[in-house]
Amino acid sequence: MATLRLERPGPGGRAGLVIIMAFALVALAVSTGLYPADAAVATGSGQWEPASGRHWFGTNRLGQDIFARAIVGAATAFKVGMTVTLLSLLLGAFFGVVAGWRPGGWLDALVVWLMGVLDAIPFYLFAAALAFALGGGEAAMYTAMVLTFWTATARLVRAEVMRLRQLDYVASARAIGVAGPLIAVRHLLPNCRHLLLVQAALTFVAAIKTEVILSFLGIGMRDGVSWGLMLSESTQDVLAGHFGNFLAASALMFVLLLGFNLLADALQQPNPDSAKAMVGA
């Protein structure tokens, strides 16, 4: 069985970790007040000022510093990504274990049917429709994404639990009367961590992209600063010949998503040292 390359990730994985850690430090600085978030909404400068030493990406039509808004938008992206990823993985892992523990039962059939229905709808479209139906805003955006993203995790965990439940150590635990929930916590979920880590990276990426889409459409973030709101504002800027908003939000989003994609690819690579050890054994 392939294992994660956590001890010695390849160059791509290391690059991804460096990028993610850099953005995480930026988000931490904003959330703790080390970087003044008020700088993103201050309107003391002139409209559409060009890039300069004072304003690295210039200013928008309200005179707000675009670089400051992009930095605060990175903190928003991390907040959205972490919240949606954590809730989606918890929900998906729960339903995956419940369905996979007794395959063929009515709970398994219900979960599989629900996953099939939700997966039949393009998830960006479904998330947008659900967020709109819930009235838009931050809470509706979180709810829509969690209810959309849990199915991928549940499907992977269900398949892994169906495999693990046939192994000797699980059968032995069941034979001596260990309760199913305790088996799930002690044996099943720990052995699904490689799937959950990869899925966490992929869900983080999907959450950020979905926030940008929903905020751009006006049914996501409405207050504060986010890359989606910056891209929405940039539609008027671009028509006037100013590209600072568009370039700043797009560039930072590209780099962060690249970092998570590199990390996800590295996590899915088999560990050569583990493979050699297994062959030698």
User: Per the structure block, which two tokens stand in for 179?
Assistant: 């309760």
Given a cut of 50, whether residue 2 has pLDDT beyond it is no
Q: pTM score, two decimals?
A: 0.83
Percent over 70 (pLDDT), the chain: 92
- Max mean pLDDT range (100-104, 111-115, 126-130, 168-172): 111-115
For residue 18, the model assigns a pLDDT of 93
Per-residue pLDDT tens for 79-123? Answer: 999 999 999 999 999 999 888 888 888 888 999 999 988 888 887
Q: Which CATH number fits domain 65-258: 3.10.310.30, 1.10.645.10, 1.10.3720.10, 3.30.200.20?
A: 1.10.3720.10
Given a cut of 90, whether residue 20 has pLDDT beyond it is yes
* CB proximity list for 196: less than 8 A, separation 6 or greater: 89, 93, 153, 157, 189
Q: Are 92 and 195 in contact (CB under 8 A)?
A: no
Supply the DSSP symbol for 65: B
Identify the weakest region by mean pLDDT among 35-49, 151-165, 213-227: 35-49
Domain boundaries, the chain: 65-258
User: Per the structure block, which two tokens stand in for 132?
Assistant: 């709109």
Cβ neighbour number for residue 106 with a 10 Å cutoff: 8
> Sorting pLDDT into bands at 50, 70 and 90, what band is 60?
confident
Given a cut of 60, whether residue 273 has pLDDT beyond it is no
Q: Are 244 and 67 in contact (CB under 8 A)?
A: no
Identify the weakest region by mean pLDDT among 20-34, 178-192, 249-263: 178-192
Q: Are 84 and 149 in contact (CB under 8 A)?
A: yes
The percent of the chain in helix, strand and coil, each rounded to the nearest 5, is 75, 0, 25
59 - beta bridge partners?
A: 65
Report which residue type is found at 21. M
